[in-house]
Structure 1
Amino acid sequence: MPAAVLDVDGTLVDTNYHHAIAWYRAFLTVGRTVPVWRLHRSIGMGGDRLVPEVAGTDFDRAFGDEVRSRWTTEFDRLIDEVRPFPGVDRLFDVLTDSGHSIVLATSGQPQHVDHFLHLLDATHLPRTTSDDVEATKPAPDLIKAALTEVSEPTGVTLGDSTWDCQASRSAGLPAVGLLTGGFGEAELKEAGAQAIYSSVEDLVDHITTSPFRTT
């Protein structure tokens, strides 16, 4: 069975809008107002990609490191409000019982991922984070590193954003999309998702009777 390469933010835990608010507040500290909707459209990227995406490369050179540092502070203030999506524990069980190796591939910071995995009672799972690669999603580096982490030649990815799907496609892997991050079905398909489910629970209801695959 292929490895199950899982995103975390917006996929296993409900964080996308917390991230958008934290970025909004971080940009305000350097005098830049970026609409929250615009920030949400970039959630799923790592901070190395998000700042130039929404504010331009000149701004990133001048203020990017400061904004990214401030974002960490702002998100830390919100992190205790984060909750897992229903059904994640069942997802882990079903994937494991079906013979898939589970590995996490997230653009998140390691300390935040650790917090989420404690919420999910899943600190034992192997993972790759933003600290492990030079370029985060939508680059394929995290997904390739995740496969190396579990010594698997191939996998199927699960994510909630267009950036997850693009990263998977660039890595040569099929992607399964969830609507839990606020991205639409049509845009997930356009980005490369070969199957889309409304929630983790919806996905689990399908894979309890068939392997985790895109057809």
Structure 2
Amino acid sequence: MIRITVFLPEVTLRREMRVSTTMLVDNLKKYIPMQSSADGKSSSNNISKNDISIIFRGSLLTQNMPLSFYSIGDGDILIAFTSSYTKKTDAQLWMHMTADYETFTERMKVTMNPRLAGALAHIRDVRMLRLSERPGMCSKLKRIYVGNGNACVKASIQPLNIEPSPAAAEPSCDPLPTLWYDEAAMSHTSGTNLQPVFC
């Protein structure tokens, strides 16, 4: 039995598993939760195993081969995604990133370290703050989102119509509902003890 980590960039999830080296890649796919649809629920039941691709050391793993064929050992990291998530260029990008496996694992282990998670989040925040302070950066980011007509819903100005209530001839004599009362004042004792009253 070996311990492997599967990163799922599609659902920003990391799954650690204990598996046998004789397990087929096709069987490994059964245990990988993926985003099923627009409803946001993660489920491996709604996605076909054939739609899931797994990358290790810059190569795409074939379904009918055992993990030992690819020399997958204890502590190794795999990348998994569905065909609907990725385009050909994305698959090539992941293959390129994992080709230099030592550098890739060092970077991934830094992101997995809970002690460094706060520091990494702070660095990302500072970087985004500096980007937002640049004069033209906000307009560049806006053009990215506004430029994609299908990706974003264009806002339209809707008039706000408020119907005026009919003017009352005289003020109402109905009492307002009591939401809080002072039990001490009611019993003529000292101190305040506010109790809610349900109308």
- The TM-score, its normalising length taken from structure 2, stands at 0.26
Higher relative contact order (CA 8 A, sep 6+): 1
Higher helix share: 1
**Structure with higher strand content:** 2
Please report the TM-score for the alignment, with normalisation by the length of structure 1: 0.25
